[in-house]
Chains A and B, each alone.
Chain A
Amino acid sequence: MCKDCGCSITDHVHEHEDSHEHHKAHETLHHNPQLNDKKTIDVITKILDKNDQEAGHNRSHFNANGVLAINLMSSPGSGKTTLLEEMYDIADFKYGVIEGDLETSRDADRLKAKGIKAYQIQTGSACHLDAFMVHKGLHAMELDTIDVCFIENVGNLVCPASYDVGSHLNIVLVSIPEGEDKIAKYPVMFRQADLILFTKTDLLPHFVYDMKREKEEARKIKPNVDILEVNIKDTASIQKVADWIKFKMEMR
């Protein structure tokens, strides 16, 4: 049983870890009677270990419901919410959105107005979503009624890159008006991307933007990354995003 939520997923790795730690502690007690001495221990654990375990737990929830989870990340205003609004009528899969972009429920309200199931998680002033926040959100989603669950992360190209939230895929958006060099400046974020979307390409005539070079930059960081160009006024470009997601759904 999941301790936090009473769900029936039993793969909580940290429970095993705990007993392992306890075991180690007992061993130490036997070998080290003088406990007041300075003692050096080798730990070698990922600092975000607990988050990673919770992320794995979230993925089990999604898997148990046959839902593909996609983490959407970008700077504020790159077009995450707009894409979710515009793709809804085009996509031939059902989706819901765990909305984490700031504490106001503006984005969730925008999505609900379109008939999209959206749940706003309270992030306070957090600069990123972590797996624990998303866990709360996913229990508020009716996972059995959707095929894909999007997680709209906090608008930020730095912090969200360090946190696995339990998604299967990461889509990172970068919009033309943000200017060149975004990819080279935020390599950790773009390294996480399975798909990079260059958005607002309708604005290309108004900006100095070397698309070819930006794509090359992206592939220095992630050689096998998929890349699409999106312009919200061009339905075919949104259709391609939907097709990519559909393809990935069929691969699971």
Chain B
Amino acid sequence: MHEYSIVQALLEQCEDHVKDNNAQSVAKLVVKIGIMSGVEPHLLETAFNTFKEHTVCDGAEFIMNIQPLTILCNQCDTSTELKEIYYCCPHCQSLDVKVTDGEDMYLMQLELD
């Protein structure tokens, strides 16, 4: 259950942005959660709603975009959103692929008050 630690990091980032922008609070935040980021979106949302109280994110709307695993094939140059966790180009079966999205979690956008 490291979703709590992830939320702590997220809240710290929000605090920094509120301060840097001379704002009061966060009205809305958008995050991108890769399906291979190791985070369970449902648990993250629960953790966020539990720990946002009494922070700059109290009352903030939390938008989670789930990012599928996306690879770019180094052989045939095709980009694919994978449906299965199988790091292989479905077009040419090459294993020589580059991950372009879906393995990380990002804070994307903030709406500040």
Residues of B within 8 A of A184 (CB): 85
Asked if B111 contacts A39 (CB within 8 A), the reply is yes
Return the CB mask of B22-56 against A: 1 if under 8 Å, else 0. 11100100010000111100000000000000000
Residues of B within 8 A of A46 (CB): 104-107
Asked if A8 lies at the interface with its beta carbon under 8 angstroms from chain B, I say no
How large, as a class, is the contact surface on chain B?
35 or more
Asked if A41 contacts B109 (CB within 8 A), the reply is yes
Asked if B2 contacts A29 (CB within 8 A), the reply is no
Asked if B10 lies at the interface with its beta carbon under 8 angstroms from chain A, I say yes
Residues of A within 8 A of B12 (CB): 50
Asked if A35 lies at the interface with its beta carbon under 8 angstroms from chain B, I say yes
Nearest B residue (CB) for A154: B2
The listed residue (A36, A47, A127, A187) touching B13 by CB distance below 8 A is A47
Nearest A residue (CB) for B12: A50
| Distance to closest chain B CB from A121 (angstroms) | 16
Asked if A28 contacts B21 (CB within 8 A), the reply is yes
Asked if B72 lies at the interface with its beta carbon under 8 angstroms from chain A, I say no
Asked if B95 lies at the interface with its beta carbon under 8 angstroms from chain A, I say yes
Residues of B within 8 A of A38 (CB): 27, 111-113
- Bound: A38/B5 CA distance, A: 28
The listed residue (B9, B37, B110) touching A50 by CB distance below 8 A is B9
The listed residue (B9, B21, B88, B95) touching A51 by CB distance below 8 A is B9
| Residues of B1-18 whose CB lies within 8 A of A | 1-2, 5-6, 9-10, 12-13, 16-17
Asked if A44 contacts B106 (CB within 8 A), the reply is yes
Asked if B110 contacts A43 (CB within 8 A), the reply is yes
The listed residue (B1, B103, B105, B107) touching A127 by CB distance below 8 A is B1
The listed residue (A36, A42, A162, A223) touching B109 by CB distance below 8 A is A42
| Distance to closest chain B CB from A239 (angstroms) | 29
Asked if A40 contacts B110 (CB within 8 A), the reply is yes
Residues of B within 8 A of A189 (CB): 38
| Distance to closest chain B CB from A115 (angstroms) | 34
Asked if A24 lies at the interface with its beta carbon under 8 angstroms from chain B, I say yes
Residues of A within 8 A of B24 (CB): 36
Residues of B within 8 A of A136 (CB): none
Asked if B108 lies at the interface with its beta carbon under 8 angstroms from chain A, I say yes
Ordered by A's residue number, 21 sampled pairs between the chains whose C-beta atoms are within 8 Å are A21-B20, A36-B24, A39-B21, A39-B112, A40-B110, A40-B111, A41-B112, A42-B108, A43-B17, A44-B108, A45-B13, A45-B106, A46-B106, A47-B13, A47-B31, A127-B1, A128-B2, A158-B38, A159-B5, A162-B39, A188-B37
